[in-house]
Chains A and B, each alone.
Chain A
């Protein structure tokens, strides 16, 4: 077995283990009002962080690609008009691809 396979297996099982740990918390912990408040806000915080790091970060330094920014901006406008995730996705990649042709 190659070291690449070992790395893939370790990382994959590790990621699954993290997911399993999260869904294995005991009920009293989950029913606590503070935990409930936090659990509603966790996706908000992490999704916001993901958007920012995807748009402005790469390998530990700042970067930005205006084509991608234009595409995601167009996606945000689609969201403002109540469009579904699929439409937002299509608008974002279409605008990004088109700006690259200019």
Chain B
């Protein structure tokens, strides 16, 4: 046995050549698709933001720093309809609250430390969380998180810049972009319905959110729906424990 092979056998295989995992190509394709959607959706946000009275710099700064679409649309939406800044900021923060909950599954999969934690935090949004939790193995989940986060962040910010520069010239409604957000949220939800209690939780959450729409400020129905997931998770479930593969 040569020295090289002896040495090689002591190094974990993953250090020498990371073995490709089966889902990698499919994850990359899905992440690219989400990135493209984010680009188109970013154009919408940029245009809407400028029409609501933001400067190009302000619109791009929001996409880069806030980086959570629903909150961004909430803030500019409130401003566009003549609401106060305080109402806009409150709506943005309420909608951003769900990202704190998303931190739980993301941290379980990523186990980030130090600076990486600070960077991972910025990427914790609907799409990255859904992509990460949809993978059967933590390694595929980590790849899904970073691939989706990187593609989405880049194209979201560039899309916002393009939309803000073009501004009032584009009619986002005529392009059918009103359907963009619910369609993509549905696409992210779909594969997760098959997990234990997934369909029941989705239905319960949808009912809670629907009932609360006229009763509480925008953002709160979504946060309240989290209670359905918490309740369902607190109940013991034999089937789920048996199937706990990740």
Residue B136 lies at the interface, judged by CB distance under 8 Å to chain A:
no
* Contact residues of B between 113 and 154, Cβ < 8 Å to A: 117-118, 120-122, 124, 126, 129-130, 133
Chain A residue at minimum C-beta to C-beta distance from B197:
A41
Are B186 and A75 in contact (CB-based, < 8 A)? yes
Per-residue 0/1 for A1-36: is the Cβ within 8 Å of any B Cβ (1 yes, 0 no)?
Answer: 001111111111111101111111100001001111
Q: Assign chain A's interface to a size class.
A: 35 or more
- Show 12 residue pairs from A and B whose CB-CB distance is below 8 angstroms, ordered by the A residue: A5-B58, A7-B85, A14-B96, A16-B67, A19-B99, A44-B229, A57-B209, A57-B218, A65-B178, A68-B178, A84-B30, A86-B36
Are B180 and A42 in contact (CB-based, < 8 A)? no
* A5-B58, A38-B229 known; A92 vs B107 contact (CB < 8 Å): no
Report the Cα distance A43→B233, complex, angstroms.
12
* A30-B107, A59-B81, A92-B176 known; A45 vs B201 contact (CB < 8 Å): yes
Min CB–CB distance B231 → chain A (angstroms): 9
Min CB–CB distance A80 → chain B (angstroms): 9
Partner of A62, one of B173, B192, B213: B213
